Amino acid sequence: MKVLARILVIFWKDILTELRTKEIVTLVLVFALLVVVIFNFAFGTRTGIEELVAPGILWVALTFGGVLGFNRVFVVEKENSCLEGLMLCPVDRSVIYWGKLVGSFTFMLAVAVVITPIFLVLFNLPLFLPRLALIIVLAALGFAAVGTLFSAIAINTRARDMMLPILFLPVVVPVIVAAVKATAPVLAGRPWGDVLTWLQIIIVFDVIYLVVATMVFEFVLEE
């Protein structure tokens, strides 16, 4: 399918550019790790920490790491008006959105893949948690859907680095709440129970925002 091919072309181009600079991935990884470690000192060790505080710590780290990354999504297109270069191409504006989305999503997964095992080790939690992986994948998709859209807006405002978190965080509150609530039983090794309900919320969020962002993205780009 031509559409899919073009999305992947944009994605691959972003991978290449990121690999060349390596800035963003290293920065964010170090930052997220710092967050995890610092929160650990802030809360100390207690029994029951897995359920009380650890899920929150993990998701704060992933959320703020994500925000740092989303800030950069369109920065590369700002130089030399590359975004306009993309807009000249015979592609639907939503294809540009999806191309960038795949990049943001991959980026979030990359950060999670590194941070989560370290987090689990630091908190002496079991390492093999496929349910956690599922939660992370679904939440990352929601973050990326909103983050990509808002990044395109924020980059055209004057306080661009500050603007993105201010826009992004309130809107993804449902994802954060649901992710934290779903993570707690998983970390404590409890059965599915509530986890499914929370996952449903994240899935609904993902679907709604992917659809809305796809429809609305062209208005962000075109004057």
Residues that bind other proteins (CB under 8 A): 2, 5-6, 9-10, 13, 16-17, 20-21, 76, 79-82, 84-92, 146, 149, 153-154, 156-159, 163, 166-167, 169-171, 173-174, 177-178, 181, 197-198, 201, 204-205, 208-209, 212-213, 216, 219-220, 222-223
Task: Show the tokens assigned to 81.
Answer: 């008006």
Name residue 194's amino acid: D
Q: How far is the CB of 208 from other proteins (least distance, A)?
A: 6
Q: How far is the CB of 34 from other proteins (least distance, A)?
A: 25
In 3D, which of 153, 135, 142 has the Cα closest to residue 105? 142
Angle made by CA atoms 193, 126, 172, in degrees to the nearest 5: 55
CA 143 to chain CA centroid, nearest Å: 4
**Cβ closest to other proteins, residue 32 vs residue 150:** 150
**Cβ closest to other proteins, residue 13 vs residue 131:** 13
**Cβ closest to other proteins, residue 54 vs residue 180:** 180
Contact (Cβ atoms closer than 8 angstroms) between residue 73 and residue 148: yes
Residue 90's Cβ-side half-sphere holds a number of Cα atoms within 13 Å equal to: 1
Q: How far is the CB of 111 from other proteins (least distance, A)?
A: 21
**Cβ closest to other proteins, residue 113 vs residue 204:** 204
Q: How far is the CB of 214 from other proteins (least distance, A)?
A: 12
**Cβ closest to other proteins, residue 45 vs residue 80:** 80
In 3D, which of 180, 143, 140 has the Cα closest to residue 55? 180
Task: Show the tokens assigned to 143.
Answer: 């973050």
Alpha-carbon span 54 to 95, nearest angstrom: 38
Contact (Cβ atoms closer than 8 angstroms) between residue 121 and residue 42: no
Q: How far is the CB of 100 from other proteins (least distance, A)?
A: 14
Under DSSP, the state recorded for 80 is G
Q: How far is the CB of 20 from other proteins (least distance, A)?
A: 4
**Cβ closest to other proteins, residue 32 vs residue 95:** 95
